[in-house]
Structure 1
């Protein structure tokens, strides 16, 4: 075991779980045995919530200008430990070092945004009648929880931690049991940055802890990122207990390629979008709709895909089970008539024979009814469907139950605007394969890619992590009374 036993982080201390149930943490890169993670008990969650609840009065009453000083220091520590943090992300998740470096860079950007919050939540004051003043202010909710997935061990936790805490809440983080190590490093850096004990806590576990978070009477809000199937369950369970909930689910993102698209730029973007992070991201392009005569572009995509080498510039998928599931999708599509232009099945990386790799895969002549065209694969696979018109392409995109992202590659501004207005997705790209908004713009999809109101990052997150207090004040009786006072 390369690292020490994973511990919970409660009230400023790392504590060994009292459970007898642990799971192995294994690197997808080469099968290295990294650690064990506890499946914590609900009593341990209760202890963490109790610590957070006790810390909330003092933390919430600390002026926000003082609270964000913690995150200025946290940003410095992220920069100071940049390479170590990236290495750990790569090791436990399987992504390449370049991708892990980009993940930590995004963590820094998210923290920078949190540091700007004092300028964004100043509230409003207006004299609404003579001598009568109305005022609004953002007030923290209390104890909140964030349940995060395996595909971004550091970035997705940092979607919620800096904003929620800077806005005055106290948090319970439930990391993915597949990648629990980065969360511990986040906790250590926050403590070093001066975050008071109890404000941030980590409880490791699986389904039982997720259900307990949804049910806990002292948790006011829950954010979740994961599959649509589980997002629905979390949203229903949390809101059943009258909590706020924002649950982000899966995706099936479509790239529409028009004949006038620049072949080299389009091919590079499509290949990078479908294979980045081994396709294990909810913004990956996994469905391409080729409009009209685009054979010359598809050939370029094949050429670019063949430059993507497992174990070199393509990371591993998270587990053996994931590898087998992805390869089943490919085989099933081939049996149903799809043409395999680039085949990523049965890949083994020399020197990393115990790693779990799937090579880049390009499937052509995919039909919209096939599972590979409809379902989230979460692997480096792109399915190409062919249409004659833009409206036919939009009909395929609109028929998807998901709605995270959609992109179009074209040099025609009118066609691009036509698609922007009609695509059923919350994030749209024009000649951009992964249209993730940068701060302060917020991340969030539509349809069955998101359940709840608002977005999880950027300015929109302020409304989720706070409630609005309105006060109406009158001190001067000599002003008299009218219908507004």
Structure 2
């Protein structure tokens, strides 16, 4: 991979993805600015409740057919998607870098973590999908695992590719349709992923993208055809998403932030510790869940401060 991040000179059109087509939203206009270059790299319109209604209904219609497609065939689509991701790794990493501020190496590493989840999803067809138990004389209990329907995922700006890849492969392999609401700060990666899924042979409507901000999020959560919601972001937003979704009786996985503490003992290696501490808060432009927030040094930290400064400035 080359280390040069390419500047996007002309703003790209940011749109919704519905039924295999790119369509502009009908809400307020928003712009996307590159942290690397400070220029506008994208422009689009937010999705209104009416836009979300169209997306959700289209996704539900696609679900009816996709859910009865044999899991072996669904897995084959995702296997082709995996190969396409690896073939286009450099291009997608470029997009992630230019819109989120990561280095190319960090963007690639995040995408590869997503590929790991995809590879796990490909093994799901060999796992338990139900069974039959004799619970008493002449009495049997049968249980099945069935897809839910339209699954929505609301993802953050700091990992435009990795976080959505935590759920996209698993939801699709298990027969659900997927409605993705990426961050309005980093929406360009969603275009690349949608195009590769289509190229892999995913039927139209099974995968959809809704662009926008808070109003779009609320419309996604509120729509009756959306059966489950995933979210990654700030703790405040996670609580709001969780409360709104569960009040409607929906399944919600809402992951918030955290404060990471490092305890430095007197016998710790200064060079190794300085490198690890510095990398934790400077890596990924400082925007990651494992960024160190607090350093607790036993018997003083003066000897380490210079090591941290040297590493951070290098």
Where do residues 177-192 of structure 1 align in structure 2 (5 Å cutoff)? 177-192=184-199
Structure 1 position 8 matched with structure 2 position 8: no
- Cα displacement (A) at 1:18: 3.3
Structure 1 position 35 matched with structure 2 position 42: yes
Counterpart position of 1:345: none
Counterpart position of 1:91: 98
Distance (Å, rounded) in 1 between the aligned partners of 2:40 and 2:101 = 13
Cα RMSD (Å): 1.7
* Residue in structure 2 matching 1:219, options 222, 226, 247: 226
* Residue in structure 2 matching 1:265, options 264, 272, 282: 272
| More displaced 10-residue stretch of structure 1: 132-141 or 78-87 | 132-141
Structure 1 position 24 matched with structure 2 position 15: no
TM-score by length of 1: 0.61
- Cα displacement (A) at 1:285: 1.2
Please give the secondary structure, in 2, of the residue aligned with 1:76.
helix
Does the Cα contact within 8 Å between 1:37 and 1:177 map onto a contact in 2? no
Structure 1 position 238 matched with structure 2 position 245: yes
Distance (Å, rounded) in 2 between the aligned partners of 1:303 and 1:4 = 38
Is the radius of gyration larger for structure 1 or structure 2? 1
Distance (Å, rounded) in 2 between the aligned partners of 1:122 and 1:292 = 55
Does the Cα contact within 8 Å between 2:36 and 2:101 map onto a contact in 1? yes
Unaligned runs of 5+ in 2: 1-8
Does the Cα contact within 8 Å between 1:258 and 1:294 map onto a contact in 2? no
Where do residues 294-373 of structure 1 align in structure 2 (5 Å cutoff)? 294-307=301-314
Structure number having the greater helix percentage: 2
Counterpart position of 1:71: 78
Unaligned runs of 5+ in 1: 308-485
Distance (Å, rounded) in 2 between the aligned partners of 1:205 and 1:17 = 8
* Residue in structure 1 matching 2:293, options 286, 295, 298: 286
Distance (Å, rounded) in 2 between the aligned partners of 1:163 and 1:281 = 23
Distance (Å, rounded) in 1 between the aligned partners of 2:126 and 2:270 = 44
Distance (Å, rounded) in 1 between the aligned partners of 2:313 and 2:210 = 42
| More displaced 10-residue stretch of structure 1: 124-133 or 177-186 | 124-133
* Residue in structure 2 matching 1:154, options 152, 161, 169: 161
Counterpart position of 1:107: 114
Distance (Å, rounded) in 2 between the aligned partners of 1:296 and 1:135 = 64
- Cα displacement (A) at 1:251: 1.4
Distance (Å, rounded) in 1 between the aligned partners of 2:266 and 2:135 = 57
Distance (Å, rounded) in 2 between the aligned partners of 1:173 and 1:134 = 36
Please give the secondary structure, in 1, of the residue aligned with 2:67.
helix
Does the Cα contact within 8 Å between 2:26 and 2:46 map onto a contact in 1? no
Counterpart position of 1:365: none
Distance (Å, rounded) in 2 between the aligned partners of 1:121 and 1:25 = 43
Please give the secondary structure, in 1, of the residue aligned with 2:66.
helix
